[in-house]
Amino acid sequence: MSDIKKKTSVDKKKSSSKKTSLDKKPVSKPSNKKKDSGKNVNFYWIYGVVGVLLLGMIMLNTDGGGKEIQFSEFKSYVESGDVDHVIHDGHVYKVFLVESAKDDLSGDSEEDSQGIMSLYAGPDVWFSMPPGDSYTEDYKKLTDLNNVSSKYEPVNEWGQQMFSWIFFLVIMIAVWMFIMKRMGGGGSAGNQIFSIGKSKAKLHEKGDETGITFKDVAGVDEAKEELEEIVDFLMKPSKYTKLGAKIPKGALLVGPPGTGKTLLAKAVAGEAKVPFFSLSGSDFVEMFVGVGASRVRDLFKQAKEKAPSIIFIDEIDAIGRARGKNASFSSNDERENTLNQLLTEMDGFGSNSGVIIIAATNRADVLDKALLRAGRFDRQIYVDMPDVNERKAIFKVHLKPIKTDETIDIDLLSKQTPGFSGADIANVCNEAALFAARKSKKSVGHTDFNEAVDRIVGGLEKRSRVISATEKKTIAFHEAGHAIVSWLLEYASPLMKVSIIPRGKSLGAAWYLPHERQITTTEQIFHEMCAAMGGRAAEAITFGKISTGALSDLEKVTKQAQAMVTVYGLNEKIGNVSYYDSRGEQSFTKPYSEATARIIDEEVSKVIEEAYAKAQEILRINKEKLTELAEALLKDEVIFKADVERILGPRPFEEEEVGVQLIEEKVTVTEQVSKEQDSE
């Protein structure tokens, strides 16, 4: 049997991989710069190419389209008195006839003389002299006897050669211009050839182009305050300089993806009434040597000319990676040269020059230490995942453009989404609107948000998936085991909903409401591990055999046990020791011996087996209730907290206050907060 479940709690450890967004989607204002309605075509280039082609045709015009004849035919023309004169180079003889003889030429000759070649005087007929001195002597006697003018003119190959070289150069220049235009990102090709070392930064004059201000940013109040101070310094420098304060040179925004780092920079651009240069770290990278450093110099030159100004570099880790680490594997002299130039420029202008650098990255651990020192990036602003109050503020921002009904409870939504980033919340709001639109609703309701959260966390429902009766029964008992163990353990996350409907890659899922803890005790971690092992324990007790459905459960508890032993120092045998490396400098070596490694493996296995035994103990005591809950799942496919409470009774201890009013009726879809997903 394939994996039943992939258990995933959406808690504070959840990592989002979505793009940044904390605000409502702005409507971009038109740029201050004048935009061309279309591409400007330079017709002088077209005229030049046509002129070169015509010149070549003139130079290559050697025969003017005359008809080829044999030497015997030439003799008859001469004897008939139809030849006016002959011009030859010793091999090709061009024959010019008298006017009366031209009328006797065939229609083919007249057709050959038509077109553009007819503009130029050429021979009427021509022939190649057969090899042998006898033919040359016959030709001389024939022309002398009939008083036919014969002139020798050597072949002039200069025109042909010149035309071939000109044509070749035109082609090469066109290809080069095309390549430079593609590498330069568009624009005038002629200008791109000479501007490859110029900065690609986009200039925002007085923030009109972003359409975003600090009012559109929510959930990152501390980071916003730091940046507001920088903007205030630029707008009112005397307020600080009169006290002897110096303007900070740089601010580095650090945090997980989707928390709003780029959005904060856009808000700074919208608030600051100074020029704002924005670009990505990859914009410095080019295939030509020295281009990156040249673009850095040009960027700072432009910024100084427009000072006071702000430079924003997104994803600075593209050029700011630490130098000297694993040089044999990741050596990149061009990237290091670009970084060296950036370090020089940041330390090269004065403190009061009015140029501030703001950078963003989610990989601060890989940045060079010289870049992070004081005097370059003076401030490192950490943008963390939002808490419940910050999520409430973010929901308010994203719900503004959405037409909602009276059932929407922002407090409830914020408490339902622990571990969600600003980008996740924006996605929830958008998906809810899409669900309502599919149902042709006039407004977005709370059930639409329930479905949106389910869709984002677990994927779409797959009711059409073929599952045998035996597999479905195994899934039901598996999920019921999770539900009972989590219900009867004090520190396990409160149960919200259990389903055996396939969703995404899972065949069954359980939803919980995890507590947002700042610290976690040993008992709390252990109880969460027991709840995760409840599914496999239920299979073993009910069927006397286990399946592959607990793969994700095993993965989760293994990581938790390893963290207890090696990271948090929560194991008695290992002691108060942590082998965690926050800088990531121990990627190829272990900070402990082989003997310690064996002890770690033994203790990790011991902790997991203790959690498994605890789960089995709870389920053996409540085996009848396990069967009843599983049968309810097989009948209804989805059960809620009210059903579990009816079967098991109230929880035997006081629950921590989570501030969420749970909905007990089946007809109302209970909100999904965290999901225990069975991986197929």
List residues with catalytic annotation.
479
Beta bridge partners of 295: none
Q: Where are the alpha helices (DSSP H) in 511-550?
A: 522-543
- One-letter amino acid of 128: S
Q: Two tokens at 500? A: 């055996």
Q: Which has the closest alpha carbon to 283: 345, 200, 204, 340?
A: 200
> 83: phi > 0 → left, psi -120 to 50 → alpha, else beta; which?
beta
Query: Residue 93: which H helix or E strand, with range?
Result: strand 92-97
SS3 360: strand
SS3 414: helix
Q: Two tokens at 664? A: 């007990």
CA gap 36, 43 in Å, rounded: 17
Output phi, psi for 250, to 5 deg: -155, 155
Q: Two tokens at 66? A: 């005359």
Positive or negative, the Cα torsion across 523, 526, 671, 628? Answer: negative
Do 338 and 384 touch, CB atoms closer than 8 A? no
- Look-up of token digits 């200069």: 158
CA gap 549, 391 in Å, rounded: 34
Do 514 and 655 touch, CB atoms closer than 8 A? no
Q: Which has the closest alpha carbon to 618: 475, 508, 480?
A: 480
Q: Which has the closest alpha carbon to 586: 603, 558, 566?
A: 566
